[in-house]
Amino acid sequence: MVTSPIKLREGFAGQDMFVIPRPVLARACRHPLVRSVYPTDIGWFPTAGHHFRDRPDGAGQDHLMMCIGGHGYVVVDGQKAHLTEGHMLIIPRDTQHTYWAADDDPWSIYWVHFLGEDTAYYVDRMPRPGQPAPVEPSAQNEAVRLFHYCLDALHDGYGLPTLIYAAQSTQHIMSLLLYRNQALPMESHAAKHRSNLETVVDYMHGNLTSNLRLEDFAREAGMSVSHFSERFRTQTGQSPMAYFIHLRMRLACRLLDLSPRPVKTVAHEVGYADPYYFSRVFKKSMGLSPEKYREIKKG
């Protein structure tokens, strides 16, 4: 339990943090090098005495915390956990949680709130949602270096090149901690859940030009349509069909960015026989037509 009456969200000596303006993110996240995984908020809180946050409705982003000193406590969906030095934790988006630094030895933590089309690959990699997992020393040291690179870059402002760098740094941090961290235990039930999601997403990637239905994805996952839809939305924040459309639009953006192909050809290469319908879907997804998107100077 929290023993101190003092509760601080921030304001710790030596801290560094950024809350990236949401209108800036709304524009930047359309870029192919940003939209996969990108930070919305990121920081470093050293010896964060009296640090406390309570979010009854959760946060609108997935949230990574990595403790490199001291300790503290986290309650996620009613399950209490002890976050200690050399451990990390991911709180899934929109999940009720409370956390606080211990009074006797308050934690020093690096943290990042993140969004993106591929975040589920990282969130679902954790053996137990909302519970700590170990970080091997070499992975922790490299993650600390990457956090500082990202924070240092953001001191230069929120230009698109900086936000691309921040997004790539965040993705590198997540990949390092969740795919190159030899201390991370891979429990069988977590591996099964990962396999279900990754199999379906791989299936989507391999069939972007096919007119697939929700039933096709559920069958690939080996689940009923209703159960698959609920689990997929929980893990990704999107419906399966919305996710599939986003994958198509991401490929369309890359083709528009990196080739002189006509819009009609791009439409066919991402599975749309009718280029006018493709343009409507693209505009709904990206906020502007394929022609206008191609005119934007990027990077």
What's residue 188's pLDDT? 42
- Structurally, the chain folds into a number of domains equal to 2
CB neighbour list of residue 199: distance below 8 Å, 6 or more residues apart: 220, 221
One domain for residues 200 and 57: no
| Best CA proximity match to 139, nearest among 171, 108, 109, 183 | 183
DSSP state of 8: B
Cα–Cα distance measured from residue 105 to residue 101, given in angstroms and rounded to the nearest whole number: 8
Range of the domain at 114: 16-186
CA-CA-CA-CA torsion sign (211, 236, 36, 196): negative
CATH of residue 290's domain is 1.10.10.60
Whether 273 is in a domain gets the answer: yes
| Domain end (from 129, 164, 186) | 186
> Quick one: 218 exposed, middle or buried, by C-beta within 10 A (0-12, 13-18, 19+)?
buried
One domain for residues 225 and 171: no
What's residue 189's pLDDT? 43
One domain for residues 160 and 200: no
Instruction: From first to last of the 299 residues of the chain, give the pLDDT tens digit.
Output: 444 555 556 566 889 999 999 999 999 999 999 999 999 999 999 999 889 999 999 999 999 999 999 999 999 988 999 999 999 999 999 999 999 999 999 999 999 999 998 998 899 888 887 899 999 999 999 999 999 999 999 999 999 999 999 999 999 999 999 999 989 876 544 455 555 677 888 899 999 999 899 999 999 888 889 888 888 887 777 899 999 999 999 999 989 988 889 999 999 999 999 999 999 999 998 889 999 998 886 65
One domain for residues 147 and 209: no
